[in-house]
Structure 1
Amino acid sequence: MQCLAARSFLGKAVRNARIRVAVSQDQLAKKCGWSQGKIQKIESASQATAVGDVDTLVEALGIGEELAEKMRDSARKSRELRSGRPSPPPYFHRFLESEPHATEVRAWHCERIPGLLQSEQYMLAQFRHAGADDVTQSMRQRLERRKTLLGSRPPFYRVVLSESAFRRMPGGRARRNAILADQAEHLIEFTSQCTRLQLQVLPFDAETPYVPGDFTAMSFAVDPLSADAEAPEAGRESFVYLEHAHHGDYRKKSQELKGYHNTWDQLSAAALSQQDTKLFLQDLAEECRSRLPLTALPQESKDLLK
């Protein structure tokens, strides 16, 4: 996801430089001979930027050479998404680019396992079901994203999964037990590796009257109003992400954030403890393994990644 980070850095650098010299997007666009929409797309990181366009912006905004060279390098990296590799939908770019810089992530998923926590067998079945053109590259990208929780400064990742997420596996009934056993065992191992990962399962018999749709709340330590343009957290505001079938919504109003945090706290309080969640996963893996034939799990995902 390096290209997404590059686009974001470039967009924030342009926006901060524009604000510093007190010009509007429309005024800057006229100085550059462009449309206002092009400036908006660059600042919002929604399109790749050519190095020549960066030079135009540098001159128009009076940006120093040190930052200008970093912006040029970001422009080169920002064009990776045009290389034909699998790319996430545009509405998910902000989520992926923000994830490594969050200080805390609170997530609730009721029908699926989120990308960061998926086993390789789960990924493979999911991508194939979705008709991915390049399954191998899609899996490599997701495995690369997983390193977010294994780095030197991972976010405090707190996730509650409904029991439904384990009862509905990609691949259908034919492979459900194999994929579910692999997924449960992966979560047991992964939570032992990630010291800042808190995983809980909300069982069907939990004392909660209803459950909401999926949401993820991201928090950041740096105040965007005082952040330096070159800091990774610069310009980041806490938000809640809501994903729908064909689009995603970002909510950042303080009352909405507070409401979702309270909802997450209620779900967490009703869910199994971390220790009981581990026991739940162990029992689930054993149950599924007992239903499998004596042959080993398919090695297909590992073969693909060799």
Structure 2
Amino acid sequence: MADLPHPLAAFIVGEIRRARGAAGMTQEAFGRGAGFSASHVSAVEGETRALTMDFIKGADRAFTNGGLFERMVAKLGAPSWFLPWLDAERVATQLRSWQPSLVPGLLQTEQYARAVIRCDDTLSEEEVDKRLAARLDRQSILAQPKAPQFVAVIGEEVLRRAGEDFRGIMAGQITHLTAMAERPNISVHIVPADVSMHAGLTGPFILARAADGKWVGQLENQLGGLVISNDDDVATLLSKWETIRNEALPRRQSTDLMKEVVTSWT
């Protein structure tokens, strides 16, 4: 259940199962109301098939509860704008990420991710821990049996953003990046700092391709983010991606640069 933090997904599945039982509904009857087959319902309830937002919305329809489960997920797990992206990320066969400011979330170490999340000083320690657990849980998609091909392009400035008090965390993060880049389904490419102007300077984004070939994008901003599914907008992001990727170093040279940055601190 990589699209939601696993404890939350298991909790929601349990609540749906209990609600179905209380309503006296068989899996087949529930499935008719939710828009899924009985076998699909059985697989979700048995936690052998991922819980998705489509299933959650279907459960709300079947129970005519006014969207209770969708609100519950939004309240406990992730902001509502992010949920469609989690669905896309979970079933992706390819992921393409551009990050000019931070290491992509799917490749962050626990220490680095905690430091990034703590930049929001309105969060309590409990909220930081919850967001950290959700971020680390999402990373499991890169190690699953049918893991997506993930190509991450990062600005060199991201690697060098390390003052004395942050250098230890950053060294661990770069070491993790180089290790992840050795996996057959993961590529990490660096846009050198001497590429002064390029299409990616306007901000980060990530693209996910589903098995049916459809792409979905996600843009990040100070208020959270935006999921992009309009064909024309997605085509624009794909075009920008190719332009940025062309400015990046090849895989081996990128790894050498990452190692060189860490070595320069010792």
TM-score (norm 1): 0.63
Q: Secondary structure at the match of 1:112?
A: coil
Partner of 1:100: 90
Whether 1:154 and 2:144 are equivalent positions in the alignment is: no
Task: State the Cα distance separating 1:186 from its structure 2 match.
Answer: 0.9
* Amino acid in structure 1 at the alignment position of 2:135: R
Matched residue, 1:250:
227
SS at match of 1:113: coil
User: Does the alignment pair 1:188 with 2:178?
Assistant: yes
Structure 1 match to 2:125: 133
- Aligned-pair distance for 1:285? 1.0
1:68 to partner: Cα distance: 5.5
Contact between 1:100 and 1:154, CA under 8 Å: does it hold in 2? no
Q: Is the partner of 1:222 in helix, strand or coil? A: coil
Q: Which residue of 2 aligns with 1:42?
A: none
Matched, 1:204 2:193: yes
Match of 2:137 in 1: 144
SS in 2 for 1:195: coil
Change (3 A) 1:240 1:58: closer
Q: Secondary structure at the match of 1:151?
A: coil
Report the secondary structure of 2:202's partner residue: coil
What's the counterpart of residue 222 of structure 1? Answer: 212
Distance 2:235 2:178 in 1: 31
Q: Which shifted more, 54-63 or 130-139?
A: 54-63
Partners of 2:44 and 2:109 in 1: CA distance: 36
Percentage identity across paired residues of the two chains: 21
Q: Is the 1:207–1:270 contact (alpha carbons within 8 Å) kept by the matching residues of 2?
A: no
Cα distance between partner residues in 1 of 2:137 and 2:85: 15
Which amino acid in structure 1 is aligned with residue 218 of structure 2? Answer: Y
Letter in 1 for 2:243: Q
Gaps of 5+ in 2: 7-14, 60-67
Paired residues of 1:181 and 1:286 also in contact (CA < 8 A) = no
Distance 1:254 1:88 in 2: 25
C-alpha change, 1:53 and 1:245, in structure 2 (3 Å) is farther
- CA shift in 2, pair 1:206/1:139, >3 Å: same
- Distance in 2, matches of 1:3 and 1:268, equals 27
Change in 2 beyond 3 A, CA 1:132/1:70? same
CA distance in 2, matches of 1:113, 1:150: 18
**Matching residue of 1:263:** 240
Hey, what's the Cα distance between the residues in 1 that align with 2:155 and 2:35? 52
What's 1:165 paired with?
A: 158
Q: 1:165 Cα deviation (Å)?
A: 2.1
Mapped to 1, the partners of 2:105 and 2:129 lie a distance apart of 15
Superposed displacement of residue 264, structure 1: 0.9
Structure whose CA Rg is larger: 1
| TM-score (norm. length: structure 2) | 0.71
* Separation in structure 1 between the aligned mates of residue 35 and residue 148 of structure 2, nearest angstrom: 36
**For the structure 1 residues 81 and 142, does the alpha-carbon distance in structure 2 shift closer, same or farther, using more than 3 Å as the test?**
farther
* 1:17-60 deviation line (CA, Å, top 9, x unaligned): xxxxxxxxxxxxxxxxxxxxxxxxxxxxxxx9653689586576
Match of 2:256 among 279, 299, 304: 279
Cα displacement string for residues 228-277 of structure 1 (whole angstroms, at most 9, x for unaligned residues): xxxxxxxxx42111122113222223332222112111111111111111
Aligned to 2:65: none
